[in-house]
Amino acid sequence: MEYERERSHLIRSLREQRVSEKTLKAMKKVPRHLFVPPVQLANAYVDTPLPIGYAQTISAPHMVAMMCDLLEIQEGQKILEIGTGSGYNAAVMAEIIGKSGHIYSIERVEKLAIFARENLEKAGYSNVDVIQGDGSLGYPEQAPYDRICVTASAPDTPKPLIEQLKPGGIMVLPEGEGYQRLYIIKKSLSGEVKKKDWGGVIFVPLLGQHGFDLYDNKRGKR
Ligand code: SAM
């Protein structure tokens, strides 16, 4: 298999960072080199974010791993991802949920939605739908979701995402401008929402109606 040595090296380093065996097993299977632009091939298995064009990035593998672990993803779940980017994070989650689960992933930039669809097809993931649109509104068509993974930083928690999270569900999302925090949001079976601060992170901004404003980076209209 191509890049096997590089991938094994990355998995070893993630294991040292206490990533769960379930997530490592999934990441071992996903060919990250199929999700980066050709100019970045030599860096495909370096644990760092990489540019994918349109001022966006594919997240660092340790960040993907951490979000998957925080989400406590289970086989067969229905997951909403906001910010498809390259499609890599969606592919890792798709490995964990297996063929009985499904991922709906929303990407704002049309050319990236196309890039991600092509990458996911090349890598053989048929349980991921990539939708071009404003993910700050969620995707009510398939709600509610067992898990919601937001991979761009919002000014605060978008209300539609809270509404579209299933009772008993978990969401992870970065919030803040410049200084950002990652939050774990859990909705109890009775609908009570609890938000826990996990720590500091760096993500590109979530742009859109419940995100930052496209042109001046201020909060979007509510
Ligand atoms: N998960 C991606 C991956 O595995 O490559 C990395 C995501 S990148 C850090 C964040 C993505 O969020 C960018 O592709 C950006 O275009 C997208 N984004 C920003 N605002 C968005 C919005 N309102 N709806 C959907 N996507 C958005």
Choose which residue among 47, 177, 201, 206 to substitute to test ligand 1 binding: the one with the highest number of ligand atoms within 8 A of its C-beta.
206
Calpha distance 212→85 (Å, rounded): 17
CA of 190 to the centre of ligand 1 (A): 31
DSSP tag of 186:
E
- Confidence class for position 178, pLDDT limits 50, 70, 90: confident
Contact status, residue 26 vs residue 96, Cβ threshold 8 Å = yes
C-alpha span between 134 and 31 (Å, rounded): 28
CA angle 176, 181, 185 (to 5 degrees): 105
Q: What is the mean pLDDT of residues 62-85?
A: 98
Q: Residue 184 has what pLDDT?
A: 98
Is residue 216 classed as helix, strand or coil in its secondary structure? coil
Report the DSSP pairing between strands 165-175 and 180-187: antiparallel
What's the pLDDT score for residue 201?
A: 95
Across the range 101-107, mean pLDDT stands at 98
Is residue 219 within 8 Å of 213, Cβ to Cβ? yes
Render pLDDT for 113-165 as a digit per residue (tens, 0 to 9). Answer: 999 999 999 999 999 999 999 999 999 999 999 999 999 999 999 999 999 99
Residue nearest ligand 1's atom 12 by CA: 83
Pocket residue to mutate for ligand 1, from 63, 81, 109, 177, most atoms within 8 A of Cβ? 109
CATH number at residue 64: 3.40.50.150
Question: 55 is in which domain, residue-wise?
Answer: 4-221
Q: Which of 138, 21, 26, 46 is nearest to 91 (CA)?
A: 26
Name the domain count of the chain: 1
pTM: 0.96
pLDDT tens sequence across 14-60: 999 999 999 999 999 999 999 999 999 999 999 999 999 999 999 99
With cut-offs at 50, 70 and 90, classify the pLDDT of residue 2: confident
CB-count burial class (<10 Å; 0-12, 13-18, 19+) for 53: middle
